[in-house]
Amino acid sequence: MRRALKKLLTDTFEVKGIWYLPGSSMTEESVKGILRYSPNEITLELIGTFHGHSFVDIKDPSSLTIYGFSDHGEWFTLLHCLPAQALISAPGFDTITYAVAYFYAGTQLVEDESAALVKNASFSLTNLDAWLDYKIIKQDGELGTKKLMLTIDPNAFTGDRKLLHIRSRALKLSEEIRYNLVFPKESFLGEKTEIIVQRFYRFSSESEDLLSPKYLYETIQQLRQLLTLLIGYAMYFSYIEFQFPNTKETTPDGKEIEHKHFCRIFFSQAGDPFKSRKRLRDAQRAILIKRYDLSADMESVFDHWFQEQEQLSEIASPYISDLYLPAYVENKYLNVVRGLETYHRFFISSPQEDDPLDSDRASILSFINENIPEANRDHFIKRVCYEDEKSFRKRLKDLFHLVPANLVIRLFGEMNATQKNKLISTIVDTRNYFTHRDDKGKYANVVSDDKTLDVLTDQLSVLLQYFCLTHIGIDPAVVEQRLLDQLH
């Protein structure tokens, strides 16, 4: 069995060891147990209880940090551990099982995740090889000739390996590659020569300062959202690895040796990473925005995503989440429609939206904030700020006006003004019905059968993709063509 530090987030494995609480003695107050990891669940089963804890503590809602040392000699830090199950056996061994939110393998240094502890973070994702589509093998000669030479040069990337400066975060993002050759024992026995290539990203500070694991982890998750949006498929982490500052040791003969110190974080991932990876491998052309589509704009696109992360995340996150987990078609529809409406609120300013009541509304809100008890303010503010369906209709009309005509025609067919208004009424009525769940008879154009609603959801998803991708700086003509290609 490989050690935990070499394991992937897509693996399932167990770690046997001794476990103890911070501040207690590893040798005298530790408990034997097994840490079990799978992409969907993490548990720690202990044979016995920690010193000063009893099985009654299983009702205690407070979470624990637990340290561990495995039978392979690796250190562990388990965070946010909650007692989940206890089994009292007489005769036999009493056991208690903790649900573990996530853990670090290879260190006990990460007790305060907000502290500046690490130099960089390297990470890879499923389907990343399809996105980072560059090659390191050069061919001299032709197949079928007497001489064919293949040269492996990790520095000669087809597509140009990039170093991106994420200035809004004062971070560098580098594209990296690692490969390993497995040679046959005898070249004439038909054995395989394997080239194992691993593509990954690495975040580090522009100033070479140390960074906190929490900050890097959150930034990596935000980058995954962007890549999911670009590719159009779910992407799952293969690993996230943090590098600590090197330590130095002097040997008995006076030599100074420098040691590198890494750790990996393990956490549960929603969805099915294996199904997603197989689907994309079966259809490489299904990638929505290719890496080469970004060309010289790649750095500005990535930086723009992080600059407006708070707003873009509110728009795109619900839609992106639906790519990872199965969802009811009604919820998927509402998420997409909400994304379109929120995009308009944040990024489209239309003279038509100037409301003569705005100044009066501001006066009423000021009165509420100054005179109504805080506990009751939301009740009145929501009513003052309520926008009726006419506002939503106007937003949809604006959005349809901004989408390229060819894309609208491919999605909905040729439409005259009356047909376009009917489509907008359908979108509005369907949104209102599934939001309020009141009398369906109030909504003349509601779509209620799953098949038609699924088609409408997919059509509106394309509009949301168009707006999000063009907003972060991708050439609108490129986005339009790639969406048309996929629809074809």
Q: Give residue 255's pLDDT band: very low, low, confident or very high (50, 70, 90).
A: confident
pLDDT at 351: 46
Q: For the chain, how many residues are written?
A: 488
Q: Which residue has the higher pLDDT, 202 or 110?
A: 202
390: its two tokens: 């006419």
131 neighbors 123 (Cβ within 8 angstroms): no
pLDDT tens digits, one per residue of 461-473 = 999 999 999 999 9
pTM of the model: 0.82
Determine the straight-line distance between the first and last CA of the chain, rounded to whole angstroms: 47
- 97-115 pLDDT, tens per residue? 999 999 999 987 767 888 9
Q: What pLDDT, on a 0 to 100 scale, did the predictor assign at position 52?
A: 67
Q: How many Å apart are CA 405 and CA 393, to the nearest integer?
A: 19
Identify residue 64 by its one-letter amino acid code.
L
β-pair type (13-20, 64-70): antiparallel
- CA torsion through residues 477, 478, 481, 487, sign: negative
Q: Which domains does the chain have, with CATH numbers?
A: 4-105 (2.40.10), 120-236+271-307 (no CATH), 326-487 (no CATH)
Q: What is the mean pLDDT of residues 259-265?
A: 90
Query: Which pLDDT score, from 0 to 100, does residue 352 have?
Result: 47
CA–CA dist 46, 87 (Å, integer): 10
Region of 34 (left: φ > 0; alpha: ψ -120 to 50; beta: rest) is beta
Confidence band of 143 (pLDDT split at 50, 70, 90)? low
CB atoms under 10 Å from CB of 110, counted, come to 22
What's residue 149's pLDDT? 74
pLDDT-wise least confident of 7-16, 141-150, 287-296, 353-362: 353-362
Q: Which residue has the tokens 């573990």?
A: 100
CA angle 74–79–84, rounded 5-degree value? 110
Q: What is the mean pLDDT of the chain?
A: 83
| pLDDT band for position 355 (cuts 50, 70, 90) | low
pLDDT value at residue 1: 44
Work out the pLDDT band at 358, boundaries 50, 70, 90.
Answer: low
What's the Rg (C-alpha) of the chain? Answer: 28
Mean pLDDT of the region 81-93: 79
